[in-house]
């Protein structure tokens, strides 16, 4: 049995350790350093837990603080397991424990249980704040209860204060922290509803009103990147240059933006650093896994086929129609020095015609380079009969967030199979340009010329205009 003093001290140690974490985290220290004190307290709690039994008068008091500390440390699965073992109705637990359990359910992707737990906090006098409202909002989103999420946001706008006032003489009122969090959630709600244009305008307006607000600047950059404007996002993040310590959100934003810009060395460097600082962050984990994927070989394959029906029986070949098929397979090596990789390539083209079948296969090897949204690839190939060796070159580059161009040359073009069967070959040239306003609007045009050895020339001009509309 533990003395009341020991349990009281444990409770105080939990609160002190959490306060210590918040301070060190703001100072830019790693999670390992910031959580060091809390980890020691939780280790002590584990030992105390083994010494207690349900008949101990201090049992529940200890357990409540233990669950609270475990949730703050991110041990959501352990929180739920221990809560289940308590065998006490959720409504009978103190508000701060219910809050911890609600957060743990949400973290474990059990939004229905999280919603119930959060709702028990709404009627607690002077307890609900933006952390409760935000948790309830995300529990709705995870269940695709978008109408309820929208209604909650409208209600929260009425419930939370706008300003924080100081009792000190001469000190002006400031924006209440809950109001800042609400403004951020408003913008992200628009983004989650696929209204990225409205979300961008929302954060642009708020940043104009509060040009030094790190949270708003990071959210604006995040939405700009989602709108496929990584250069604009980089410019927005640069507004935070010189601020020390660098906030966690800023560092993660820089990592994700380097990836979007194709700056692989910077992306890798930042990720490796953040793995040491924030190993449990979902964004850091995702980035680390995607970098690890670049160290693995990959394979891609595509097949296209077609058939045209004839009105009458084909008296030449005895077939009812014409068929064609094209298969292309590519095996890529892992990336080398971040920007290079080798690949093997195979193409198989087949067609059925009135005069008979035509089959063409080509094998090739090549190399590819990618960096900063520029790409160059070269492939040397030949047909399976050992002839018609050729080379193909591809180049593409984004000039900015809106303009991209592509060039291609192929010394052994994919000429019609009938011409190939007649012993002809050909060269092809292609150029394309794309203008992209954002993630929803894109206009492109391309021109291709194929010069066949029999003197025939094929020209192809195409254009497309895409506008992606999303209804919610």
pLDDT of residue 313: 47
Low-confidence ranges of the chain (pLDDT < 70): 1-2, 163-175, 309-321, 468-472
Alpha-carbon torsion (132, 137, 141, 145), positive or negative: positive
pLDDT of residue 161: 77
**368: DSSP letter:** E
Can you tell me the distance from the alpha carbon of 237 to that of 216, in angstroms, rounded to the nearest whole number?
Answer: 11
Beta strand 441-452 with 356-371 is unpaired
Beta strand 403-410 with 390-398 is antiparallel
The residue count for the chain:
472
Distance of CA 190 to the CA centre of its chain: 17
Beta strand 374-383 with 356-371 is antiparallel
Alpha-carbon torsion (368, 462, 444, 190), positive or negative: negative
pLDDT of residue 309: 66
Can you tell me the distance from the alpha carbon of 89 to that of 60, in angstroms, rounded to the nearest whole number?
Answer: 13
Can you tell me the distance from the alpha carbon of 188 to that of 195, in angstroms, rounded to the nearest whole number?
Answer: 10
- Upstream peptide bond of 245 is cis (omega within 30 degrees of 0): yes
Contact between 85 and 63 under an 8 Å Cβ cutoff? The reply is: no
pLDDT of residue 12: 96
**What are the domain boundaries of the chain?**
298-467
Does the domain formed by 298-467 have CATH 2.40.160?
Answer: yes
Q: Helices (H), strands (E): how many in the chain?
A: 17, 12
**Buried-state track 256-289, b at ≥16 Cβ within 10 A, e below 16:** bbbbbbbbbebbbebbeebeebbeebebbeebbe
**Buried-state track 380-409, b at ≥16 Cβ within 10 A, e below 16:** bbebeeeebebebebebebeebbebebebe
What is the residue-wise DSSP string for 374-385? EEEEEEEEEETT
Can you tell me the distance from the alpha carbon of 142 to that of 110, in angstroms, rounded to the nearest whole number?
Answer: 9
Contact between 215 and 237 under an 8 Å Cβ cutoff? The reply is: no
What is this structure's pTM? 0.88
Based on its alpha-carbon atoms, the radius of gyration of the chain, rounded to whole angstroms, reads 31
Contact between 68 and 51 under an 8 Å Cβ cutoff? The reply is: no
Beta strand 298-309 with 321-332 is antiparallel
pLDDT of residue 165: 64
């Amino acid at each position: 049995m533990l003395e009341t003093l020991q349990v009281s001290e444990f409770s105080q140690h939990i609160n002190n350790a959490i306060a210590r974490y918040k301070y060190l985290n703001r100072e830019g220290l790693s999670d390992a350093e910031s959580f060091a004190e809390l980890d020691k307290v939780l280790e002590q709690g584990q030992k105390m837990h083994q010494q207690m039994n349900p008949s101990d008068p201090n049992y529940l008091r200890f357990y409540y603080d233990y669950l609270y500390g475990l949730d703050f440390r991110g041990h959501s699965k352990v929180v739920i397991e221990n809560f289940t073992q308590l065998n006490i109705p959720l409504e009978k637990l103190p508000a701060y424990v219910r809050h911890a359990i609600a957060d743990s359910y949400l973290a474990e992707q059990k939004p229905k249980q999280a919603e119930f737990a959060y709702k028990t906090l709404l009627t607690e006098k002077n307890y609900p704040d933006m952390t409760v409202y935000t948790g309830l909002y995300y529990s709705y989103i995870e269940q695709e209860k978008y109408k309820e999420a929208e209604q909650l946001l409208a209600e929260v706008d009425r419930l939370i204060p706008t300003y924080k006032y100081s009792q000190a003489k001469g000190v002006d009122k400031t924006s209440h922290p809950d109001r800042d969090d609400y403004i951020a959630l408003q913008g992200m709600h628009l983004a989650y509803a696929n209204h990225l244009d409205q979300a961008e305008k929302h954060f642009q307006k708020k940043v104009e009103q509060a040009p030094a607000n790190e949270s708003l600047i990071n959210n604006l950059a995040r939405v700009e990147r989602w709108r496929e404007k990584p250069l604009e996002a980089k410019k927005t993040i640069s507004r935070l240059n010189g601020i020390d310590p660098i906030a966690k959100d800023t560092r993660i934003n820089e990592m994700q933006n380097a990836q979007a810009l194709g700056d692989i060395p910077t992306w890798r460097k930042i990720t490796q650093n953040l793995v040491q600082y924030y190993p449990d962050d979902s964004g850091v984990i995702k980035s680390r896994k995607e970098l690890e994927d670049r160290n693995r070989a990959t394979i891609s394959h595509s097949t296209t086929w077609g058939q045209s029906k004839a009105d009458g029986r084909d008296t030449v070949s005895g077939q009812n129609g014409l068929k064609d098929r094209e298969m292309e397979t590519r095996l890529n090596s892992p990336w080398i020095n971040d920007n290079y990789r080798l690949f093997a390539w195979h193409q198989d083209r087949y067609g059925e015609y009135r005069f008979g079948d035509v089959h063409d296969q080509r094998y090739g090897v090549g190399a590819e380079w990618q960096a900063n949204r520029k790409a160059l690839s070269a492939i040397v190939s030949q047909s399976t009969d050992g002839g018609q060796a050729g080379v193909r070159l591809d180049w593409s580059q984004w000039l900015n967030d809106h303009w991209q161009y592509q060039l291609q040359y192929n010394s052994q073009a994919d000429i019609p199979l009938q011409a190939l069967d007649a012993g002809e070959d050909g060269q092809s040239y292609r150029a394309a340009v794309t203008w992209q306003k954002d993630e929803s609007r894109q206009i492109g045009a391309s021109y291709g010329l194929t010069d066949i050895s029999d003197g025939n020339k094929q020209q192809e001009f195409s254009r497309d205009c895409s506008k992606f509309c999303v209804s919610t």
